[in-house]
Amino acid sequence: MGKRKAGFRKKHYFNHQHRQQGTVQPKLDERKPYNDIVRENEKFVEYYKIQNVCKPEEFDEFIKSLKTDLPATFRITGSKGVAKKMLRQVEDELIKECVQQNKSENPPNMFPLLWYPDKLAWQLELTRKDIRSNESYSKLHNYLISETEHGTISRQETVSMIPPLVLDIQPHHKILDMCAAPGSKTAQLLEMLHKGNDSIPSGYIIANDVDNKRCYMLVHQAKRLNSPCVAIINHDSASLPNIFETLSDGSTQQVQFDRILCDVPCSGDGTLRKNPDIWMKWTPANSLNLHGIQYRILKRAVELLVVGGRVVYSTCSLNPIENEAVIHRILIEANGALELAEVSDLLPSLKYSPGMSKWQVSSRNLEFYNDFDEVDEKWRTTIRPQMFPPKPEDISKYNLHKCIRILPHQQNTGAFFVAVLQKVGPFTSIEKKNENMNADSAPLQLNKRDFDERLPQNQRKRRRKDVYREDPYVFFKDDEPIWEDIKKFYNISDQFNAKCLLTRCHEGKKKNIYLTSAGIRDLVLSNQDNIKFINTGVKVFVRCDNKNMKCPFRIANDGLESIYSYIGEQRKITIEKEDLITLLVNNDPQKSPAITSLSKSIQDQVENLSPGSCVLMYTEKSENDQDPPMQLYISGWRGTSSLRCYTMQHSTVHLLRLLGGDVSKYEKSKFKKNVENGDANESSCSKPS
């Protein structure tokens, strides 16, 4: 096979980028090698100049910035103590080393984003390609790749981190992510949901996407975060069915969400720096075509939101037709039930422009109109009256300036739009009825049967026919036979709700056992007929028919953080750093360290421990008293004469790094290998990483 030209990106790379972004994919014949794309589009420049997206004196800088590649950014995730330790390693070792090894006069700037809490998000003034192709960054590159695989680094674009932050998530919130795939924001929402002290928060996230294949990208994201509080569903969110929950008296009512994210499909011209092929196909028609679905998704979100709740609408588009016009339209429809919120205090020192209150609507041929009455007859199906800005006398009613527009030149990022809407009054007819009722009477609650009965006959039938099923979700019953053995072996506390455990098959040998939170369990059981659930539950036990263990299931690492506090002390081993490093370095089932080679403390603890699965617990005090200690819980195995960790390679490397162990055998210097092979450029450009 011939060598690929340096700088050429494979077809699947375009697909990959557009899948990640959810933007419209170019047709096959429009795809060009990455380096051949001319980053020019006269219509684009003219359009945005007329729209006044930035001050006239900044316009050249704005366009220039869109033509450059995007800097690399990442977030450190993970539980508090682990994240703090990783931050120290990133800041004090990796970044310092990169700067020291860089021989150029002006080493690149690498800094934490000031508006992101606890310095856990970083921007490197280097492109991803710079990082891959320069030896001085190879340690950082390896770190980013393996920690991303492990789930403790999220390589998320700077601006994409903003919507979850302004949602202001609390651990008890019921959250809906309407257009969630591939899931970088869902992951961030999940981290925020888990920021309290409970191992299983009472809130949850429903992550939805219309595209079935993209839902599986979401499954992959969610799996990295090991949460029992998320369910992935597959619907058109503009017509998302009502979701029901069970009340303590056994009746059902419609769920009203506390927080909803509408990160809607968009034309994506804010991602030009990452997806330069958009330069070739940009036209104002893209936005005109998307406005309708964007509005319908947002409207459905407002219907599903509780009064007092918050919805965040975001796009990676610069176009006011997809942004302020959608917000203006929903504010008119809400007639006072929604208000734009001021959120600058949640984003200290982020630079942005205020939302626009004036714009023009243009045809695909760049004929601009100020009013629908002026619109040429032939455009009246694509240009709609609701796309126009408020009349000058109404501008102050809507406060569109409270929307946030992030422009690429302001802090070297992609472009982005965010609006935070607070629901301050009733929006749907049911909510309005409730408000009008006597204050003493109970609010009108519509349960599932009411909804079914209100549907026309033909739709009731269709609902029953449209019962989509993946593998079933079979929750444990009170007398689940396999639970007895597990509970006894691990001495699991009575506080643990075993009814939240599930398997994915009705019959036969159960292979894996998953855990959901009580809230998610109720949602799955109450909505199996009307909602297409794609995935839920974190793996907590795995079948392991080992003759030495008196229980057919071992503990899985995935769900350990959720269940460790319920596991009895007998099967927990407190481990010191040196022993843990020894286990990790020799993490091979054939060569597990003999118990006699480990410290006396370990020998004493395992003396009376029967063979089988156990939990290894490691605690390390932080260097300063304010930070929480770093606590690690690892699935282990006490053999007849040996002890081992049950970790995948990426977890082994992650843990060794945290403990300061030797990871050199896992560090691959791609740069060195490429130089040896004489093809440094080709390899470094051929594949995104």
| Residues annotated catalytic, as ranges | 316
Beta carbon nearer to ligand SAM, 163 or 636: 163
For residue 114, report the phi and psi dihedrals to the nearest 5 degrees.
-65, -30
Q: Which is nearer to ligand SAM, 71 or 265 (CB)?
A: 265
Beta carbon of residue 266, minimum distance to ligand SAM (angstroms, whole number):
6
Distance CA 338, CA 578 (A): 57
**Minimum Å distance from CB 430 to ligand SAM?**
23
Q: Is 591 annotated in some ligand binding site?
A: no
Q: Are 309 and 258 in contact (CB under 8 A)?
A: yes
Question: Per the annotation, does 263 bind a ligand?
Answer: yes
Q: Toward ligand SAM, which CB reaches closer, 183 or 276?
A: 183
Considering beta carbons, is residue 236 or 576 the nearer one to ligand SAM? 236
Q: Is 184 annotated as a binding residue?
A: yes
User: For the chain, give me the number of helices (H) and strands (E)?
Assistant: 26, 27
Does 179 count as an annotated binding residue? yes
301 is annotated as contributing to ligand binding = no
CB nearer ligand SAM, residue 290 or residue 500: 290
Nearest approach, Cβ of 384 to ligand SAM (angstroms)? 18
Greatest alpha-carbon pair distance for the chain in Å reads 87
**544 labeled binding residue:** no
Q: Which two tokens stand for residue 78?
A: 């993970």
Cα–Cα nearest to 330, from 312, 354, 353:
312
**110-112 and 368-369 strand pairing:** unpaired
Nearest to 528 by CA among 241, 214, 257, 258: 241
Q: Which two tokens stand for residue 160?
A: 């994409």
CB of 262 vs ligand SAM, minimal distance in Å: 9
For residue 60, how many other CB atoms are within 10 A of its CB?
11
As measured in angstroms, the least distance from the Cβ of 214 to ligand SAM is 5
**Closer to ligand SAM at the Cβ: 108 or 265?**
265
The Cβ of residue 495 has, within 10 Å, a number of other Cβ atoms equal to 7
* Smallest distance, ligand SAM to C-beta of residue 29, A: 23
- Give the binding site for ligand SAM (CB under 6 A): 22, 160, 178-185, 208-211, 214, 236-238, 263, 265, 293, 297
Residue 181 assigned ligand-binding role? yes
12: closest CA among 28, 35, 36?
A: 28
Instruction: Report how far apart the first and last C-alpha atoms of the chain are (Å, whole number).
Output: 22
Q: What DSSP line would sit under 555-621, residue for residue?
A: EPSTTHHHHGGGS-GGGEEE--HHHHHHHHHT--GGGPPBGGGS-HHHHHHHHTPPSEEEEEEEEE-
Instruction: Return the beta strands (E) in 200-256 as ranges.
Output: 204-208, 230-233, 244-246, 252-254
> How many CB atoms are closer than 10 A to CB 566?
18
Tokens 């929006």, located at residue: 427
- The smaller minimum CB distance to ligand SAM, of residues 293 and 634, is found at 293
Any binding-site annotation on 621?
A: no
Tokens of 147: 């920690």
Contacts of 97 (CB under 8 A, 6+ apart): 139, 140
Decide: helix, strand or coil at residue 220: helix
d(CA 676, CA 644): 37
Shortest approach of ligand SAM to residue 205 CB, angstroms?
12
**Cα 252 to Cα 376: distance, rounded to the nearest angstrom:** 51
DSSP 428: S
C-alpha span between 642 and 656 (Å, rounded): 20
Q: How far is the CB of 237 from ligand SAM (least distance, A)?
A: 4
Nearer to ligand SAM (CB atom), residue 75 or residue 521: 75
Binding residues for S-adenosyl-L-methionine: 179-185, 209, 236, 263
Q: Which residues are annotated as a binding site?
A: 179-185, 209, 236, 263
